[in-house]
Amino acid sequence: MKAELAMPIDYDDMMQSGATGLEARYDEKDVMLYALGVGFMRDPLDEKELPFAYENNGLKVVPTFATVINRGEAPPERQRMPQKSLINFMMVVDGERRITFHKPLQPRAQVVADERMLAILDKGEGKGAVLVQERVVRDKASGEKLFTIVSSIFARGDGGFGGPKEGGPEPHPIPERAPDLIKECDTRADQAFLYALSGDRNPLHRDPAIAKAVGFPRPILHGLCSYGTACRAILSTVADYKPERIRQFDVRFSKPVFPGETIVTEIWVDGATVSFRAGVKERPGTVVLNNGLCILGD
């Protein structure tokens, strides 16, 4: 029993976890709510941002909306849940997100997804574990692949299970020269409450007592909200508010953002390859998003 308590993750058991045929749907309301949740329409008269939050003139979808499309449900026979592994989800934070877009997202769709575990890395007892998962999402009607997400989460309370220590995707290097562009995007003090309505109800982001219990002085902004805010920065500059131009969008989460802080995104442009990194204005020198990579199409 003591060994099980010291090693909550059973590597072989969890590596076999996954699911096929996860069905979900979303519509215009979900798309607009997400756009507001990552900071669009701070200026209600901004005509360039209006198409992301107003349906009457052809609704556009923020590419990182892909991260909140509901996982959906699959029949039990199409799911393989861990049988021997327990993770302390109150201690989980985002590690990385890598999205490859195969087709532009539409304002409404029915989708089906397959998920599998790619890697589980043991950083050591007291140092946590990294879980890397792949999710391939297709349009239900046509079967066409829409996007592929590779996600990693950092389970801060679950290291020391005896798994491999190295592996996983290599981070994208940031250029050593000065950035070509810098874009500031504010967040609101109540931003986490709005973003939570897109699906992530983790109390870490809204409950002060829970945040303190897991080591933060106050609730932190969702990492994926910061990620979406960086996408807003890229869209509003090098992508010229054309979401279909974004073909890939990757980032590594470094440190949390507190709601109300200003996310400052540094951007490097090398043809179709856009590198980015973000800090917060209120804490100079703090990097909250690192190793960012955006691939642009025509």
Catalytic amino acids?
A: 200, 205, 220, 223
Residue with tokens 């519509």: 27
Q: Which residues is 7 bridged to in the sheet?
A: none
AA letter at 260: G
Residue 14 sits at φ, ψ, to 5 deg, of: -75, -35
Residue 257 sits at φ, ψ, to 5 deg, of: -105, 140
Q: Are 163 and 138 in contact (CB under 8 A)?
A: no
Q: How far apart are CA 31 and CA 169, in angstroms?
A: 29
Q: For 87, how many CA atoms within 13 A lie in the half-sphere containing its CB?
A: 21
